[in-house]
Structure 1
Amino acid sequence: MYQAKLAINVWDGWVRVFHWGLVAAVLVSFYTTKTSGLPFLFPIDVHAQSGYLVLGLLVFRWLWGMVGSVYARFSTFLYPVDDTIAYSKTLLKRQAPAYASHNPLGGWMVLILLLSLTFQALSGLFLSDDIFFQGPLYGLFGQEVSSQLRTLHQLNSDLLLILIGLHLVGVVVHRLLGEPLLAAMLIGTKRFRQQPADAHSEPLNISLLRWRALGVILIAAGVVVWLWF
């Protein structure tokens, strides 16, 4: 007997634009640390500018995680440790319930990724290559601090590669389990055969969300403009 699927609009347009914008900016950031030429005349400058964009996007996401649509909020997908452990056990048994937003493990992975990316973007503001580039906050806390931040910036870069790899593995695993996360981040909608564990009935106030989005975008854009110019 045919069983209809329940469609839920999970990821709003702002979250999707943030996600793919962040992917593009991070790719440019990593690429410009590995090249010394084409297509960029001064890769270090492009690296810094992509870092500014990353920081602006992160400012948007941190704020949107507090005032955005229900499934975008951190309070929706960050669960207590006990709940996360319990979910992990059901996942190993392939009995894990479906979630509209991030599941407990995915929610903590998102938070760790955001924290690592934020540290990477912020620490870059204090660095200099002693030749072509000097961050807008270079020397603010002295040369010793800048030197320590340079080391941490490099180490965190390696950590980010690991976290991004784990994130991609998670996407593949969930696809094999029948949850197409990539498609949901493209179109914003997830389909379920039954009500997900974190289903919310909060009415969507489009007008209010637009005003909130405008305010958050202006703040994030202000950060980028200040850093860029």
Structure 2
Amino acid sequence: MKLVVVSAGLSVPSSTRLLADRLAAATGRAAPGGAGAEIRVVELRELAVEIAHNFTSGFPGTKLADALDAVIGADGLIVVTPVFTASYSGLFKSFFDVLDKDALDGKPVLIAATGGTARHSLVLDHALRPLFSYLRAAVVPTGVYAASEDWGAEGLEERIERAAGELAALMAAKGGVAGVAGDAGDGGGRVTVVGPRVVAGRSPERGPAALTDAAFETVVPFEQRLAALRQG
């Protein structure tokens, strides 16, 4: 699986990049069958000038074009932004403004953000989720926000693992990984992937060996796959 991480952190070191790395590592661990993931990190601060030039010229520079191609070719995305004025950063938004409007159609995306205070945690649902819903991405149910006081505190690692598990399951489902069963959330929902078809259910004993011929005749729409992940 190809996983691309888009980090909009500006400083070095950056808490935004730290959260991005933790999410990427957790997603790799959650990959079906222990297969891991091929991870590519896109640092937007290194592309700021080319993004600005793209707006005025209409053409991406070499590095920006390579980053855009990586996003388009990814099986899943992790996007992380610092909070600026109660929303995502301008650099973060600008990158997705120059991306083709259909590039994220149906693509699994995990949204995350960092900020100085927990009061900005609603940025996930009030800014990031609407943006990627507009781009028709398949946004995983759990977003991850890390305030300054969250680092080293109880709860952050649990949210990271939960969100990463949901992303890995969606990537596997969309890619049609054969013979893989992935749990989402806290063990409630279950998606069993068999070739290109998916059978969603809640019973842990419903694995590939238990599938009947009738199951292979049923194709579950992608929206129902997402509903299965939200159960629990």
TM range (shorter): under 0.3
Which structure ranks higher in relative contact order (CA pairs < 8 Å, sequence separation ≥ 6)?
Answer: 1
- Name the structure with the higher strand share: 2
- Name the structure with the higher helix share: 1
- Structure index of larger Rg: 1
Give the structure-2-normalised TM-score.
0.25
Give the structure-1-normalised TM-score.
0.25
